[in-house]
Amino acid sequence: MPMFDFRCQDCGHVFEELVSNSAAPPPCPKCESTKTLRMLSKFSVKTGGGGGSTSSYSPPKSNCTSFG
């Protein structure tokens, strides 16, 4: 199941929750309101070689200068 960010419409609290894509939005853990909205989340891309994660992607550099 993916991790999603949610924002409470009543108190403005932002929280993360592990839910399936088809599940109803979870209640706010701060005020227990059921008026929560799924937000767009940042994501990490793991690139080869360095073993770390980064939130930005840059394509690998190539030595090719022409295709034909």
User: Residue 45 has what pLDDT?
Assistant: 59
Q: Could you tell me if residue 26 is inside a domain?
A: yes
Q: Could you tell me if residue 8 is inside a domain?
A: yes
Q: Could you tell me if residue 50 is inside a domain?
A: no
Average pLDDT over residues 36-58: 65
Residue 28 token pair: 């706010």
**Which residue is it, tokens 């979870």?**
26
User: Residue 64 has what pLDDT?
Assistant: 56
C-alpha 5/C-alpha 16 separation (Å) is: 4
Range of the domain at 31: 1-39
C-alpha 3/C-alpha 14 separation (Å) is: 13
pLDDT digits (tens, 9 = 90+) for 5-43: 999 999 999 999 998 888 899 999 999 999 999 997 666
Average pLDDT over residues 41-50: 62
Q: Could you tell me if residue 54 is inside a domain?
A: no
User: What's the total number of domains in the chain?
Assistant: 1
55: left (phi over 0), alpha (psi -120 to 50) or beta: alpha
Q: Could you tell me if residue 25 is inside a domain?
A: yes
Q: Could you tell me if residue 46 is inside a domain?
A: no
Chain CA centroid to CA 65, Å: 35
